[in-house]
Amino acid sequence: MYCICCKKDNVKPFSKDGESEEILLWKKEKRGENTLTINNEMIDNGIIHIIDAGYGSKHDGSRLIIAICDECIGKNLDDGTILFFTDYMFTDKRYLEENIDKSKQIYRRRKNLDNLTDGNS
């Protein structure tokens, strides 16, 4: 799938059963009480995820599939365009706090610079 940032077709769902990318992107497989989608698939070279447009967006109620490659994730984390929220695999409190604090610092720095250059206070 194409990365939302660099526009390269370099984020790929991993197909264990030979399913095409297209099938995996729109897959809805009922398994017990759960429905499996692209959110549950293994992805090579980035993230593919379904996002929900909430109230206030021109796209209220839409569910959109987006992809971002690992390289763009790194660049966008470094400049505060993407923010670190948590990590569902690593629960080390110190690790999480350090990454959240770093992300907040980058976010504040960018917002403050934007306010200075835009003339807003």
pLDDT single digits (tens) 90-111: 889 999 999 999 999 999 999 8
Global pTM reads: 0.85
Q: What pLDDT, on the 0 to 100 scale, is given for residue 120? A: 56
Would you kindly state where each structural domain of the chain is located, as residue ranges? 1-73, 83-121
Share of the chain above pLDDT 90, in %: 86
d(CA 110, CA 104): 10
pLDDT single digits (tens) 33-87: 999 999 999 999 999 999 999 999 999 999 999 999 999 999 999 999 999 999 9
